[in-house]
A and B are shown apart, each in its own frame.
Chain A
Amino acid sequence: MSTLSERILGAPAGDYVDRQVDRAYVHDGTGVLTLEAWRAMEAGAPARPGRCYVLFDHIVPANNSVTAGLQHDLRMFARQQGFHFTDVGDGICHQLMGEGIALPGEIMVGADSHTCTLGAFGAFATGVGATDMAAIWAEGGTWFRVPETIAMRMRGALSGPAEAKDLALTYVGRLSMDGATYRSLEFVGDGVASLSIESRMTLSNLAVETGAKAGLFYADGSTCRYLGAYGHRVNPQEPEECCYERELHFDLGEVVPVVAVPPRVDCVKPVAEMEGKPLDQVFVGTCTNGRFEDLSRFAALIRGEKVKVRTLIAPASRSVLERATETGILATLVRAGCTILPPGCGPCLGAHQGVLGEGEVCLSTANRNFKNRMGVGGEIYLGSVATAAASARAGFLAAPEATP
């Protein structure tokens, strides 16, 4: 009887195993270093180029000619090797891998800590560093230590204005920033069925903020339908009785809108307690909350109004942007005074497109609020899309009302 991680990795917790990986991906940031390590290894040809992906999302389009040069080199390399490649404007790596590429039961590695996002599909997906990735290009696999698992048992359904993001921040607050170091999280219980695939991606995304290696959901009917739309026929994964290291219980009906107070993701407080904090910027996007569900919720809450603080919106992928265009959501956002950024990470990592100045405060739907992350001297409060909308309308940090 095994946890999902044990089942996918094929060994009990604590074992070291060597495994081929089903997908391996890098972005323009980590890809540059991976390529450097790869060249230094002089490893010949990649073992399984058809399983390798290079996805440009971090600084797109390039902010200066140094970045442009590094990106050009990596782009040429990816094409020469026959890697899958997505360019400027296509979207965030984790989102694109979640648009019909990640499949239940796969082993996935990404040279980015939020690779755990793909656990939403019942894949074992975890982040690795650049040199590790170069060796994976060379060998097609790597070693893993099979993690112990913490069960996140969910009951009921989210209600009122609470979103998956609030649940995610709530669990990070309960586990703390290292409460799950080296562990996997498994999201289980009757409450899971009520969560959309997009919401599950948000929950898996934050797993690494507790130190976890992966955050997995069992593939169920919703997963099969979602992947069916991309032409995949997959089967649900049936949970087994298994041995969890710990169990945490969550009553979804009790989750309230919260924010993570800088500079810690685990310093989580009800928005109501922080209401009135002046804001200089609201940012909606990232691999946490830049999906269609998020943009459309934001648009529904802001429709017919004008934002009172500069508001930046970055769709997580080109297809999100396409749907937002076709459904009129984009027009609503533009009319409300929002600034639309190209699909990608946007200002999340503080490199371009909305960097904060000294003393500026941002309410962001991202996953990290570390000191200076979005700009030296800037402060980042993390919250849900509904909190972002309420705050954009108010011009200060404001608690959301129930989502229509």
Chain B
Amino acid sequence: MKIEGRALCLGLDIDTDVIIAGRYLRTKDRSEWARHAFEDLDPSLAQRLEGTVIIAGKNFGCGSSREQAAIALKEAGVRGVIAPSFARIFFRNAINIGLPVIECECTCSDNEAVSADPGTGAVTIGTHTYHTRPLSPRMLEILSAGGLVAYWRGRR
């Protein structure tokens, strides 16, 4: 499994309220979450997410357990998120909805080419390659099925 895209560099401690604000949670319309992703950080960001790999600082996704945060990013076309560390519920949620996440400490500038493999832990940003911890086999299976719902259906 490989993820590829343009780098979008974000800061540290990006919380789930910033990823998708509480005021947009009263709907089941996923495209609505995608349209308002990161609105309180930068309202123009949502339109630029398609085809990106987010490279963020530590503790990405801290705060509430809202799965809408991970869904908003996936719906907006984010290919994956790479950060030195994640809040654990966001990390679990991302895998469960089929959004690849990789723990890696790396430097980046916007729009550099990113390719990464959660199965081997290799992350290439621009010309630099990092080697980090791969995901567990079970997480990889869930990701390649497209998320926990599909994984579950596949097992029946």
Residues of chain A at the chain B interface (Cβ within 8 Å): 16, 29-30, 32-33, 36-37, 40-43, 59, 63-64, 66-67, 70, 111-113, 127-132, 134-135, 138, 143, 177-178, 181-182, 211, 213, 264, 349-351, 368, 370-373, 376
**What's the minimum C-beta distance from A330 to chain B, rounded to whole angstroms?**
29
Interface window among B24-32, B105-113, B114-122: B24-32
* Complex contact A371–B18 (CB within 8 A): yes
One digit per residue, 1 when the CB lies within 8 angstroms of any chain A CB and 0 when it does not, for chain B 4-43 equals: 0000000001010110011101111000000000001000
CB pair B92–A67 under 8 Å, yes or no, is no
- CB distance B65 to A112 under 8 Å? yes
Other than A29-B66, A32-B28, A37-B148, give 17 A-B pairs with Cβ distance below 8 A.
Answer: A16-B138, A30-B65, A33-B67, A33-B68, A43-B152, A66-B27, A67-B26, A127-B65, A129-B93, A131-B67, A131-B97, A131-B147, A135-B152, A349-B64, A351-B22, A372-B17, A376-B40
Please tell me if the beta carbons of A42 and B153 are within 8 angstroms of each other in the complex.
Answer: yes
User: B residues within 8 A CB of A111?
Assistant: 65
B62 located at the interface, meaning its Cβ lies under 8 Å from any Cβ of chain A in the complex: yes
Selected from B17, B27, B85, B89, the residue in CB contact (under 8 A) with A129 is B89
Can you list 30 A-B contacts with CB-CB less than 8 angstroms, sorted by A residue number? A32-B28, A36-B28, A37-B148, A41-B152, A41-B153, A66-B27, A111-B65, A113-B64, A128-B89, A129-B92, A129-B93, A131-B148, A132-B96, A134-B148, A178-B85, A178-B87, A181-B85, A181-B87, A181-B88, A182-B88, A211-B59, A211-B87, A264-B13, A349-B64, A351-B25, A351-B26, A368-B64, A370-B15, A371-B40, A376-B21
Most chain A CB within a 10 A radius of its CB, from B15, B23, B67, B136: B67
**Total number of residue pairs linking A and B with CB closer than 8 Å:** 118
Bitwise interface map of B from 138 to 156 toward A, beta carbon under 8 Å scored 1, else 0: 1000000001110011001
Interface membership of B74, Cβ < 8 A = no
Across the interface, do A37 and B149 meet the contact criterion of CB distance under 8 Å? Answer: yes
Report the bound CA distance from A371 to B23 in whole Å: 13
A213–B88 contact, CB under 8 A? Answer: yes
Q: Which residue of A lies closest to B91 (CB)?
A: A182
Q: Contacts of B147 on A, CB cut-off 8 Å?
A: 131
Q: Are B67 and A130 in contact (CB under 8 A)?
A: yes
Closest CB in chain B relative to A374 CB, distance in Å: 9
Contacting pair B18 A178 (CB below 8 A): no
In the bound assembly, the distance between CA atoms of A112 and B149 in angstroms comes to 19
Q: How far is the CB of A111 from chain B (nearest CB, A)?
A: 6
- B79 in the interface (beta carbon within 8 A): no
Do A177 and B62 touch (CB < 8 A)?
Answer: yes
Nearest CB on B from A177, distance (A): 6
Chain A proximity of B91: nearest CB distance (Å):
9
Residues of B within 8 A of A66 (CB): 26-27
Given known pairs A113-B63, A143-B138, A181-B59, the reply for A131 and B96 (CB within 8 Å) is yes
* Residues of chain A contacted by B93 (CB below 8 angstroms): 129-132
Q: Are B149 and A368 in contact (CB under 8 A)?
A: no
CA distance A67 to B24 in the complex (A): 12
In the assembled complex, the CB of A11 is this many whole angstroms from the nearest CB of chain B, namely 15
In the bound complex, do residue B87 and residue A129 qualify as a contact, i.e. CB atoms below 8 Å apart? no
Which positions 52-108 of chain B face chain A at CB distance < 8 Å?
Answer: 58-59, 62-68, 70, 85-89, 92-93, 96-97
Distance to closest chain A CB from B128 (angstroms): 25
* CA–CA, A268 and B26, complex, Å: 32
Give the residues in chain A near B59, CB-CB below 8 Å: 177-178, 181, 211
Chain B residues closer than 8 Å to A112, beta-carbon distance: 64-65
- Smallest Cβ distance from A135 to chain B, in angstroms? 6
Instruction: Please indicate which of the listed interface residues B15, B65, B93 has the most CB atoms of chain A within 10 Å of its own CB.
Output: B65
Q: How far is the CB of A74 from chain B (nearest CB, A)?
A: 12
